[in-house]
Amino acid sequence: MKFIVSSAALLKKLQVLSGVINATNTIPVLDHFLFDIDNSNLTITSSDLETTMVSSIEVDSKSKGNIAIPSKLLIDTLKTFPDQPLTFTIEENNIIEINSNHGKYTLAYADGEQFPKAITLDNPSEAKVSSKVLLKAINSTIFAAGNDDLRPVMSGVFFQLSQDNSTFVATDAHKLVKYTRTDVSASELAEFIMPKKPLNLLKTIIDEDFQVTIEYNNSNAKFILENLIIVCRLIDGNYPNYEAVIPNENPNILTIDRTQFLNSLKRVSIFSNKTTHQVRLKLAGAELNISAEDIDFSNKAEERLTCDYKGEDIEIGFNSRFLIEMLNNIESNEVSLEMSLPNRAGILKPVSGYEDGEEITMLVMPVMLNS
């Protein structure tokens, strides 16, 4: 078995595929790439059992067969080559020889049959979405997903695809983000919870606009890109009723420049308590007063900003880290913060900068103010 391939083209593929491989694996073969040769087509697979990534590349070969090559050793070797053709020759005794312009290198490979078989989806449902829309949906929501192992359903992004629109939701019980597109729909209603790892992989892969096909059933989802397939196991469980926690009556509305608000929060929060990260927002007339205090160390900061405010005077506390994170993930120049009472959630929305058919709502829970 023998094939010739461009070192740069192979390295580019492997660097993408290596994102799936865990630093430590209980099964040794998962530290490898599966190379499957079928004449001039080389299919490469990487997996951590939960997520599998498959890509293919054209090679010069007349062979057929499969082997598993150690991922780190191969990538480290390829990084050192200028772009040139490399000849891979599979020898006896589980040895593979790589020949370059300057020398030859031998390494041990594992039997390709040991590599876990890719999951096949039986009778899957299907939805098609633009890669740019999918990327925007992931970027807008993934930061709000939780990390609590005791509540796995909150550790992913909830996909809700219907004939009218598509909604993507993430929450960790302290903050919630809901991103809706009316220009993206599915042939039938579908709801599933995507883990963060495959979504983060998709973020790194998508760099131009193309059609992504999503196939899914009750337990797995498959993302088919131009020259790449990601199959992952879905998070099992029922997503919480997020609509129930979004307050509808929010008569107190603050509208303010996003950058000004963000920079002020960053400065003031430095002086906040290191456990609660609490900042106090005091709104009266056209003035927003942002303050923070760490009583233990006698640290205190206060800033006044002019703003557009409609509603009753209110004093409300928030975790500054959550507000900063949300403001960093909004693209609008101006934002609105809608509130009702100091013990009810605040709703953060962009004022402009989003396309027609696109809507984003961010909810942040308040914290109890010190008297």
pLDDT digits (tens, 9 = 90+) for 203-242: 999 988 999 999 999 999 999 998 899 999 999 999 999 9
- Please give the Cα distance from 78 to 279 (Å, whole number): 50
* Domains 2-114 and 125-242 in one fold: yes
Assigned CATH for 2-114? 3.10.150.10
371: pLDDT strictly greater than 70: no
CB 215 within 8 A of CB 125: yes
Q: Which CATH class is domain 246-367?
A: alpha beta
Q: What residue type is 68 in one-letter code?
A: A
Domain extent listing, the chain: 2-114, 125-242, 246-367
**Does pLDDT of 184 surpass 90?**
no
The CATH number corresponding to 125-242 among 3.10.150.10, 3.40.50.300, 3.40.390.10, 3.40.190.10 equals: 3.10.150.10
Per-residue pLDDT tens for 303-337? 999 999 999 999 999 999 999 999 999 999 999 99
Return mean pLDDT, the chain.
Answer: 94
Tally of CA atoms within 13 A in the half-sphere of 351 that contains its CB: 13
pLDDT at 348: 97
Hey, how many other C-beta atoms are within 10 angstroms of the C-beta on 132?
13
What backbone torsions phi and psi does residue 71 show, to the nearest 5 degrees?
A: -70, -50
| Core vs surface per residue 315-336: b (16+ CB within 10 A) or e | ebbbbbbbbbbbbebbebebbb
